[in-house]
Amino acid sequence: MKKHQRKKKSVKRGRIFLLVIVIAAVTGGIILWNTPLSEIHVHGAAQYTEEEIKQLIFSKPSEQKFLYAWLRDKFIKKKQFPRILSYELEFKTIHSVDIYVRENRMVGCVSYGGSYLYFDKDAMIIESRTNRFEGVPIVEGLAYEEIVLGQKIKADSNEIFQNALRLADILQNRGIYADSIYCSYDNQLEFCVGKIIVKLGDSSYLEEKVTEYYAMQETLGEREGTLYLDNYRSQNPNQGFVFKEKTAQEEETLSENDAVK
């Protein structure tokens, strides 16, 4: 009899213990579910603000709760964005998370339908805005077919647009923040930085021409005018180039050696 009573008490204690665990787990789950991520830090974003990245990844208030965000990150496929190649979440505490972002770089934009459509180095449209991003050149001089977000740009002269696209990528890789790139139907290219227009001629030696301008930036300073690099020839890297001042309309010859002094 006593053995039977002890067994009943043991089962009862086990049930109570299990009930306590369940209650604690449910309570803890509710607390974690409703705990907001109050500290969100973004790393790696260059062309977008920290707030824009937060709005993309945590677009709804519920997504900014710790348990929801943690479960989604561990067990559900990450969100896909045209302008972000990848991102990782690192939970520091139940209140804090770090976001590590790898952006899809915008190398240029076109004006279309009252908006600025930004494209990457593969000509894929990754962003549509009514305002301009500073440091991202607008490509002018061509007409375009219907442009759709998430698809590649189709210009009426695709070969010329590809040259402009290559130029935009070279400029960004060099850290040159051009305001605009102009390409004509006879394959003449130029770009504008501040008050300087740089005429490149055709699409040959684009990287070398941009390198010449890069070396001259400090010498040109805040001057206003046109730099002619259209006569560049790789066989004569120390040749002079003409810079025509807009105000005085005087021609000056700048050599690469003078530019780097």
The DSSP annotation for the chain comes to -HHHHHHHHHHHHHHHHHHHHHHHHHHHHHHHHT-B--EEEEES-SSS-HHHHHHHHT-SGGGGBHHHHHHHHHHSPPP-BTTEEEEEEEE-SSSEEEEEEEE----EEEEETTEEEEE-TT-BEEEEESSPPTT-PEEES--BS---TTSB--BSSHHHHHHHHHHHHHHHHHT---SEEEE-TTS-EEEEETTEEEEEESSTTHHHHHHHHHHHHHHHTT--EEEE-TT--TT-TT-EEEEEETTT--EEEEEHHHHT-
Confidence (pLDDT) at 245: 83
Chain CA centroid to CA 192, Å: 21
Please tell me the predicted confidence (pLDDT) of residue 254.
52
Query: What does each of the 261 residues of the chain score in pLDDT, given as a tens digit?
Result: 545 555 555 555 555 556 556 555 555 556 555 677 888 999 988 888 888 888 888 888 878 888 788 888 888 888 888 788 889 999 888 888 899 999 888 999 999 888 999 999 999 999 888 888 888 999 999 988 878 888 899 888 889 999 999 999 999 999 999 999 999 999 899 999 999 999 999 999 999 999 999 998 888 888 899 999 988 876 665 666 788 887 654 445 555 445 443
